[in-house]
Amino acid sequence: MEKKYLIIGNWKMYKTPSQSTDLVNEIAQFKCPDKVKLGISPPFTNLCPISKALKNSSIVLGAQNMYCAKEGAFTGEISPQMLQDLNVHYVIIGHSERRSIFKESNALIHQKVKVAQDFQLIPILCVGETLEERQAGQEKAIVEEQISSALEGISSALVIAYEPVWAIGTGQTATPEIAQEMHGFIRNLLKEQFPKDGESIHILYGGSMKPNNAAELLRQADISGGLIGSASLVPKDFMAIAQSV
């Protein structure tokens, strides 16, 4: 079976709503290989204009976070129902910046994954170890804990993003060997939990994926896409990554 890829741009807290439509229109002008599904995860404020701009496009929309309730007195939060209404398809959950800066726990992340699925959103669960954890030889234990806690009682309609924290925004990409080793480990965990679908769940690599290293990473057996931060804000770089498959 031909390998299919998922490439998602994580814009983080960059671009205003008015800047975002120009950027999206520029991205949409590039040709994307048939075996690649392309997605963009802009800030919440940009979802509405981008949803309109992408109306007739094959590019899908993702959010960067959500709260785990349909609605309610949760000042400052965004609900899965609101995302659904804007044709959002994916939602990034448990990004390392959410875990470290906003102190999101494995328990909260589990709730978010569960509620995202309840609203037919596909969670992109982010996992990954810090440099200290890797130096202490704990990378697999950490990732296993992040995955097993988040996936309790969850269906296979999800995506995993392995993002070693030491590679995010640092320009220090994991080597293809290190990345594949962790992706293979994650693949086995998924196959244990989902004997039928574990093989086909997307496992994205994230952490300084760029046009000059994407092809080699994406060629690895268990890497089927990327979660792209800074390079996704430069249309020609983002599309060079998609075209490198």
- Specify the stretch interacting with ligand PGA by CB under 6 A; choose among 80-88, 141-149, 152-160, 204-212: 204-212
Known active-site residue 163:
yes
* Minimum gap (Å) between residue 168 Cβ and ligand PGA: 4
209 binds ligand PGA (CB under 6 A): yes
Known active-site residue 177:
no
Q: Are 7 and 36 in contact (CB under 8 A)?
A: yes
Q: Which of 230, 238, 239, 244 binds ligand PGA (CB under 6 A)?
A: 230
229 binds ligand PGA (CB under 6 A): yes
Tokens of 30: 């590039």
* Cα–Cα distance measured from residue 120 to residue 220, given in angstroms and rounded to the nearest whole number: 29
Q: Which residue is nearest to ligand PGA (CB)?
A: 229
Strands 36-41 and 225-228: unpaired
Closest among 174, 231, 177 to 205, alpha carbons compared: 174
208 binds ligand PGA (CB under 6 A): yes
Closest among 32, 37, 29 to 8, alpha carbons compared: 37
* Cα–Cα distance measured from residue 172 to residue 76, given in angstroms and rounded to the nearest whole number: 34
x/- site string to ligand PGA, residues 149 to 178, per CB under 6 A?
A: --------------x----xx---------
**Interface residues toward ligand PGA, by CB under 6 A:** 10, 163, 168-169, 206-209, 227-231
